Amino acid sequence: MRKSEISASMMCSDLVNLKQTIHIFEEQKIEYLHIDVMDGEFVPNIGLGVDYIKSLRKLTSIPLDLHLMIREPEYKLSWIGIEKTDIVSVHYESTYQVQRMLDRLNSFGCKKFLAINPATPIWVLEEVLDYIDGINLLMVNPGFAGQRIVTSTIKKAEKLQHFLQERNKGNIILQVDGNITPEHGLILKKYGASIFVAGTSSIFRGNVEDYEHNIKELRVAIE
């Protein structure tokens, strides 16, 4: 069983307290900062662009978990400033050329994750399992924080665990993203999830003074 890791969803943080937030995350050894890059086309929201990523790298060395919710990312990867220590999630639904998109990530040396939306069936993964390091299983329709889990995705996580086991692909990392409360984390851990995107459903509840407690609460649920 892989060690559970927390990926803090920075779209939920407020810029006013960014330095204090990062300090708490470093103290609490948060493993990744989840960056939702949104183009307003693939998802109905715009956010966390290239300049934000550049500034964040000056603030901390916590690796980034770049969730690219953009159309045809394979043509835009060089814009982003991807580093070897990053995770990059690209969406199956964002291009007609999925395998070429994954191939183009190779030159960056980052971990390659394929993200799939709630209605996208697991079998789309069949032909690309050899090209990915992980899967970002969206538990909500992507683009906004504060949403409620799409209930069918819990069963989907269980099915995905069997799908990977049947193909001896237990090495593929499972990340879960969207409304990950401690309760949902506890359930999804059982289905093989090891990276938990923590947003308004966990870390970012209340104010910055509450973050340390919220992190500890989530850690207990997913350990």
Catalytic residue IDs? 36, 177
Residue 201 interacting partner from ligand DX5, Zn ion, none (CB closer than 5 to 8 Å by kind): ligand DX5
Q: Can residue 134 be called a binding residue for ligand DX5 (CB under 6 A)?
A: no
Determine the interface stretch with Zn ion among 48-56, 62-70, 73-81, 162-170 (rule: CB under 5 A).
Answer: 62-70
Residue sitting closest to ligand DX5 (CB): 199
Q: Can residue 189 be called a binding residue for Zn ion (CB under 5 A)?
A: no
Looking at residues 1 to 40 of the shown chain, list those that interact with Zn ion (rule: CB under 5 A).
Answer: 36
The site that binds ligand DX5 (CB under 6 A) totals a number of residues, namely 21
From the list 9, 28, 95, 175, which residue makes contact with ligand DX5 (rule: CB under 6 A)? 9
How would you write the chain as a 3-class SS string?
A: CCCCEEEEEHHHCCHHHHHHHHHHHHHCCCCEEEEEEEECCCCCCEECCHHHHHHHHHHCCCCEEEEEECCCHHHCHHHHCCCCCCEEEEEHHHCCCHHHHHHHHHHHCCEEEEEECCCCCHHHHHHHHHHCCEEEEECCCCCCCCCCCCCHHHHHHHHHHHHHHHCCCCCCEEEEECCCCHHHHHHHHHCCEEEEEECCCCCCCCCHHHHHHHHHHHHHHHC
From the list 6, 8, 12, 114, which residue makes contact with ligand DX5 (rule: CB under 6 A)? 12
- Residues 54-73, mask of contacts with ligand DX5 (x by CB under 6 A): -------------x------
